[in-house]
Structure 1
Amino acid sequence: MDTNMIDTEAIETFDKFADEYDTWFDRHPAVFQSELAAFKKLIPESGDGLEIGVGSGRFASRRGIKTGVEPSDKLGEMAKIRGIDIHKCTAETLPFKDQQFDFILLSTVLCYVRVPLMALQEVKRVLKTNGILVIGMIDRKSFLGQIYEIKKQENKFYQHAHFYSAAEILDLLHEINFEEEVYQTIFSPIENISTPEPIKPDYGEGGFIVISAKLAKKFFYPSI
């Protein structure tokens, strides 16, 4: 794989500040519960799941996902402690066979992928025909996305990120023949959230968007 497609600085940052990243969820429990609840609406209760960019395993361990991809050694070790089987690689080169997983989760990952379409095509390869892809993301056009864009250089984790709008990711999914449903949560500034936020359909208000995508069904019309 072309090493120019791997953001080594981002990986080094997550390695260096792994503890700080992991404890963020403890410092913002209501935000974590809001995002977890949004995922719960869309992630299947059973099946063989994979999380790409599994981080320290916070979401995977709560959603019954046993396999994770994580390029950061330190975060990968944390995820192993939480019971996740870790593969050190990136989203563009997954070490799995075709149509292996029933569902795949990417939570705040595409903003670190330099060629998102390539990553999504690789996800499509290892996802079963009737499988579900679930994407969690910060919508760049939301109030939260705008805050992060303005303060990006002050945040050690997000200074390496390229945030996308929900519409941009939906366009990429349509390009590779996925159809989707979308939910949103996080309607208040992070520091003001003390209880879990509501979950609403669609996007445009919430800062955190969750997309559930399936391969679109092909219709064959009889020849006349």
Structure 2
Amino acid sequence: MIQTTIFNSHVKEYDAWYEKYTEVYQSEVTAFREQLLKLPENIKGIEVGLGTGRFSQPLGIKEGVEPATEMAAIALKRGIEVIAGTADNLPYKDLQFDFVLFATICHLNNIKEALKEAHRVLKPKGSIIIGFIDKNQTIGKAYEEKRLESTFYRYATFYAVDTIKKYLTETGFKNLEFNQTLFGGLDEIKEVQIPKEGFGDGSFVTVKAIKK
């Protein structure tokens, strides 16, 4: 896969982004944490496409899936149990987890298959939590404009909120709850932002939904 090869070849560049844009990164973590706090305590979940563990580690997620071996090696050093695999063919049995988290979806090969797989491995009434750059907001538009200049976003797919709503509903999820963060341009964000409910203003959106 082209994107897996890119991430394996540029893992240091990928990880350095989080140091350069610390406030952006921490704002995203805060938005995810707000969604996770809505879940019951003492539950088991995974992150799909966990990269170098930048989200799993601060969110307390102990295991997950990552296809890029060089990225997975760093996640292992951060204390995450990593299984090789892809989002559209998760290496787990049915009904295993209370939640599945996707910190990003723009690099998925087949988003609907990934959502179906998340639905399969979730227990009844389990939760899916997804974070994504809203293509209709400031940062999403900037990424689209500079797509061909970017190592990581050249082959990415950015989504509008309505599209994600549609895909979640079609793959068996309900009770969608949104929050948003990253208000302003990427280089304008100089402090960690508190997420707001809903969507339509922030460039980074998270959604929590329940398995039907």
2:119–2:172 CA contact under 8 A, matched in 1? no
Quote the residue 2:29 is aligned against: 36
Give the AA of the match of 1:121. K
Partner amino acid for 1:139? D
Which amino acid is 1:101 matched to? F
Deviation at 1:114, TM superposition (A): 2.7
After TM superposition, give the deviation of residue 17 of structure 1 in Å.
0.8
Alpha-carbon distance in structure 1 between the residues aligned to 2:66 and 2:211: 25
What's 1:221 paired with? none
Residue 55 of structure 2: SS of its match in structure 1? helix
Normalising by structure 1, report the TM-score. 0.90
1:222 aligns to what? none
Does 2:200 match 1:204?
A: yes
The one-letter code matched in structure 2 to 1:81 is K
Are the equivalent residues in 2 in contact too, given 1:121–1:176 (CA < 8 A)? yes
Once the 2 structures are TM-superposed, how far is the Cα of residue 82 of structure 1 from its aligned partner? 0.7
Q: Is the 8 A contact 2:62 2:79 kept in 1?
A: yes
Deviations 1:38-81 (A, max 9, x none): 00111145311100000000110111111111111110000000
Correspondence 1:107-186 to 2 at 5 A:
107-108=103-104, 110-179=105-174, 180-186=176-182
Deviation per CA, 1:119-155, whole angstroms, max 9, x where unpaired? 1001000011121110000011112111110101111
- Kept after mapping to 2: 8 A contact 1:184/1:205: yes
Is this contact kept in 1: 2:30–2:194, CA < 8 A? no
Contact persistence 1:134–1:210 (CA under 8 A): yes
Residues 34-113 of structure 1 mapped to structure 2, 5 A cutoff: 34-43=27-36, 44=39, 46-108=42-104, 110-113=105-108
Count of residues in correspondence between the two structures:
208
Say yes or no: does 1:25 pair with 2:18. Answer: yes
**Normalised by the size of structure 2, how large is the TM-score?**
0.95
Identify which of 168, 177, 184 aligns with 1:188.
Answer: 184
Q: CA deviation at 1:96?
A: 0.5
Residue by residue, what CA displacement relative to the aligned partner does 1:173-202 show, whole Å, maximum 9, x if unpaired? 111231210000001111111101231111
**Match for 1:82: what amino acid?**
R
8 Å contact 1:186–1:198 — kept in the other structure? no
Note the C-alpha offset of 1:215: 2.2
For structure 1, the residue ranges without an aligned partner over 5 or more in a row are 1-7, 217-224
RMSD: 1.1
The letter for the 2-side match of 1:103 is: F
For residues 201 and 177 of structure 1, what CA distance do their matches in structure 2 show?
A: 23
- 14, 19, 27: which one aligns with 2:7: 14
Secondary structure at 1:128 match in 2: strand
Percentage identity across paired residues of the two chains: 38
- Name the CA shift for 1:58/1:46 in 2 (closer, same or farther; >3 Å): farther
